[in-house]
């Protein structure tokens, strides 16, 4: 069982600031660096470091070669990544003194997938494999439909949220991996609605799907038919939250591929996410599986 991730590949331009810039304001950055990013890249690295077999599908352009190098170093298969004569996807990220972030994404080559390319990639998959998607590439509806027709499981992390949800065949999604805001948007509810109420509505609208809802400081909720589970966060000092959700996603799906229990999957993914937020940057902050196991041992002993 492997993961085929049709995922974004971004060049992250990261600016550390004391406070987020306000409209009309000009501020000095305290630090600046360039890093590998994109929700897709982060999730592939997380899943691979958690031990999953991961095939990454996507496009890079000018200046993007180092992105595939980093994926390969993490153990990700990049044989289907294509290079185009166009600007690579990239981001502008503000990270404030509290470790919170604000992100602007430019799609670039991430928005240049084609139907032919999708067919070529999916030919590498088997029924029961997982197709992982975010919403930073194009042709999301096509990938979901073709993956479902092939008998693959579809895991969708709808970030950023699609502007037109009716254009995406959400009824074919097997795993929704969402934060509380995205979960509320999926069912047209206010973001301050009770979490359990949002889960109830999701269960009605997508009865066959599994929902994993991350809640920041409030941990994570899991819903699959009649089963409801939760896991609290592991308390750490936050340095940079940029890749926290992506780490959780990759680690959780890696556990799914190992056919481990849901409880173990939530625990390992929560621990991996906690380690990630305690470190600066995105992809470089994602822990190895051995680090997560040591963290869990130390947490159990403390």
Instruction: Please give the domain boundaries of the chain with CATH numbers for all domains.
Output: 3-301 (3.40.1190.20)
Q: How far is CA 127 from the centre of its chain?
A: 22
**Helix/strand/coil (H/E/C) assignment for every residue in 52-87:** CCEEEECEEEECCHHHHHHHHHCCCECCCCEEEEEE
pLDDT of residue 28: 97
Residues 177 and 211: their CA atoms lie apart, in Å, by: 6
pLDDT tens track of the chain, all 302 residues? 999 999 999 998 989 999 999 999 999 999 998 888 889 999 999 999 999 999 999 999 988 999 999 999 999 999 999 999 999 999 898 989 988 888 888 999 999 999 999 999 999 999 999 999 999 999 999 999 999 999 999 999 998 899 899 999 999 999 999 999 999 999 999 988 999 999 999 999 999 999 999 998 899 999 999 899 999 999 999 888 878 999 999 999 999 999 999 999 999 999 999 999 998 877 889 999 999 999 999 987 65
Active-site entry in 77, 164, 246, 298: 246
Q: What is the pTM of this model?
A: 0.91
CB 17 within 8 A of CB 118: no
What tokens were used for 92?
A: 């502008």
What is the helix (H) or strand (E) element at residue 250, kind and residue range?
helix 244-257
Residue with tokens 């998959």: 125
Q: How far is CA 147 from the centre of its chain?
A: 18
Residues 197 and 293: their CA atoms lie apart, in Å, by: 34
pLDDT of residue 302: 52
Does the active-site annotation cover 85?
no
Strands 82-87 and 10-16: unpaired
Residues 273 and 297: their CA atoms lie apart, in Å, by: 16
pLDDT of residue 5: 98
Strands 153-156 and 130-133: parallel
């Amino acid at each position: 069982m492997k993961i085929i991730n049709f995922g974004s590949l971004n060049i992250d331009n990261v600016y550390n600031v004391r406070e987020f810039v306000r409209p009309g304001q000009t501020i000095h950055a305290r630090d600046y660096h360039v890093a590998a990013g994109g929700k897709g890249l982060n999730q592939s690295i997380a899943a691979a470091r958690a031990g999953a077999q991961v095939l990454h599908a996507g496009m890079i352009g000018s200046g993007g070669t180092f992105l595939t190098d980093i994926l390969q170093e993490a153990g990700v298969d990049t044989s289907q990544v294509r290079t185009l004569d166009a600007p690579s996807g990239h981001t502008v990220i503000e990270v404030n003194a509290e470790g919170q972030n604000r992100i602007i994404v430019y799609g670039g080559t991430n928005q240049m997938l084609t139907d032919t390319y999708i067919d070529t990639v999916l030919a590498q998959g088997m029924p029961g494999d997982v197709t992982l998607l975010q919403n930073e590439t194009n042709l999301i509806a096509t990938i979901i439909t073709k993956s479902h027709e092939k008998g693959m499981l579809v895991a969708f992390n709808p970030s950023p949220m699609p502007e037109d949800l009716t254009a995406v065949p959400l009824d074919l999604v097997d795993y929704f991996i969402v934060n509380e805001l995205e979960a509320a948007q999926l069912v047209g509810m206010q973001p301050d609605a009770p979490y359990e109420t949002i889960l109830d509505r999701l269960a009605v609208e997508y009865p066959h799907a599994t929902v994993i809802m991350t809640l920041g400081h409030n941990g994570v909720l899991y819903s699959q038919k009649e089963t409801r589970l939760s896991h609290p966060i592991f308390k750490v000092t936050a340095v940079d939250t940029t890749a926290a959700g992506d780490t959780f996603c990759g680690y959780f799906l890696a556990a799914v591929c190992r056919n481990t229990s849901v409880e173990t999957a939530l625990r390992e993914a929560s621990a991996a996410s906690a380690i990630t937020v305690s470190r600066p940057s995105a992809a470089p902050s994602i822990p190895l599986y051995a680090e997560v196991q040591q963290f869990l041992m130390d947490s159990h002993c403390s």
